[in-house]
Structure 1
Amino acid sequence: MIKTVLIDDEPAIRRDLKQLLDNHPDFIVVADCGSIKDALPVLKATQPQLVLLDIHLEDGDGFEILQHFHPIPFSVIFITAYNDYAIKAIKYGAMDYLLKPVYEEDLDQALHKVRAANNNGGTLPEQVDVTQSWLNKPANTDKTVATDRIVLRTQEYLQVVPLQEIIYCQSDAGYTYFFLTDKRKIVVSKSIKEYEEILPTNLFIRSHQSYLVNYLFVDRFIKDGLLVLRTGQEIPVSSRRKDYVVQFLTGK
């Protein structure tokens, strides 16, 4: 049995989650509450394996709860109202999340990940830190690097990667390959479009439908349609993106 605690300041959300979790007999809700004040003693008393945690609570945010645990001894699934900025932050940290109102199919998928999860290798604190770093930045700084790291979720592990170590990304059949400065290649089962949406727009250039390039590694642009990187790779530039690439490189 996977002991679960629900923390959300909306009683209706907690009620709905309990009803949905009734369909999963291997998960048992041992407690629920709606504030940081109530959550801390509940978590210490029940010692759950899973916490469904609202980001915004009546007396603070969910991250304040997590800061009381070193290391964090349970899995976390965030619950949030739809907010592009919050979702971007969660994706930066590769955290699991549910949007309100919570639908059965979305919860089923999240719980499946919990069942299948292996030891995170100590990366949960880093995931939380990366996510919170993003949330702590002003929401209107689209041209600013909000955090200097991203967490990549592979089939085997979670990898924390500094943005300055990503040379470029390449898509292939629904997967995205990250090519790093230490010659590693990390494969993630998400589309390159998703990473285009969350990586900082002042740093990464979408030169082609299959490539996303870190500007810091661009050496020159060949007008026939190639970006030559300082590391020697040649990245294609599609004809319809040439003007965009020139504008990006010249700062116009």
Structure 2
Amino acid sequence: MKTKTTLNQFVSLKKIILYEREELKIVDQNLIIRVESNRCYSLIYFVDGTSHLASKPLKEIEVDLDKTLFLRIHRSHLINIGSVCSILRGGKSRIKLTDGTILPITSEKLHILIESIKRFGDR
């Protein structure tokens, strides 16, 4: 017996569509480490070390990503909560991601990040 794939089942896979010149790439959101604003573009960094320049501002990319997986920590940075490996304190707070990137984070966003990590770990 064949089962029908519903739109809800597809959405639960947490995919994002990235547009390229001659193809649409369908990417698992879990493979994204972070997204960085680059004026009217966004640079998306992946766990395999590659990146993709998207012709959308960060604000539009943020709308497409799962709010339970991603957090905007700065006006220029959106991160995958699961990619945070440490919080660096002393002076201004910063976070370190699994790819070694260190990014600034406001104290308000730091509290949200900590709560999100706690919820993320409960899955």
TM bin, normalised by shorter chain, reads 0.7 to 0.9
Q: 1:243 maps to what in 2?
A: 111
For the pair 1:160 / 2:26, whether they are aligned, the reply is yes
Match of 1:136, as an amino acid? N
Query: Please, which runs of 5 or more residues in structure 2 have no aligned partner?
Result: none
Query: Pairwise CA RMSD of aligned residues?
Result: 2.2
Match of 1:214, as an amino acid? N
Structure holding more helix per residue: 1
Computing the radius of gyration over CA atoms, which structure comes out larger, 1 or 2? Answer: 1
Question: CA shift at 1:230, angstroms?
Answer: 1.9
Q: 2:52 maps to what in 1?
A: 186
Q: 1:105 maps to what in 2?
A: none
Question: CA shift at 1:168, angstroms?
Answer: 0.7
Q: 1:208 maps to what in 2?
A: 74
- Segments ≥4 residues shifted beyond 6 Å: none
Match of 2:93, as an amino acid? G
| Length, aligned pairs only | 112
Q: How does 1:3-152 map to 2 (within 5 A)?
A: 135-137=7-9, 146-152=12-18
Give CA-to-partner distance per residue, 1:182-213, whole Å, 9 cap, x none. 22110111111122222111111111111111
Query: Please, which runs of 5 or more residues in structure 1 have no aligned partner?
Result: 1-131, 138-144
Match of 2:111, as an amino acid? D
**C-alpha contact 2:14 2:28 (8 A) present in aligned 1:** yes
Cα separation, 1, equivalents of 2:65 and 2:36? 14
Q: How much identity, in percent, do the aligned residues show?
A: 28
TM-score (norm 2): 0.76
The change in CA–CA distance for 1:235 and 1:155 in structure 2 (over 3 A counts) is farther
Match of 1:235, as an amino acid? L
Match of 1:243, as an amino acid? H
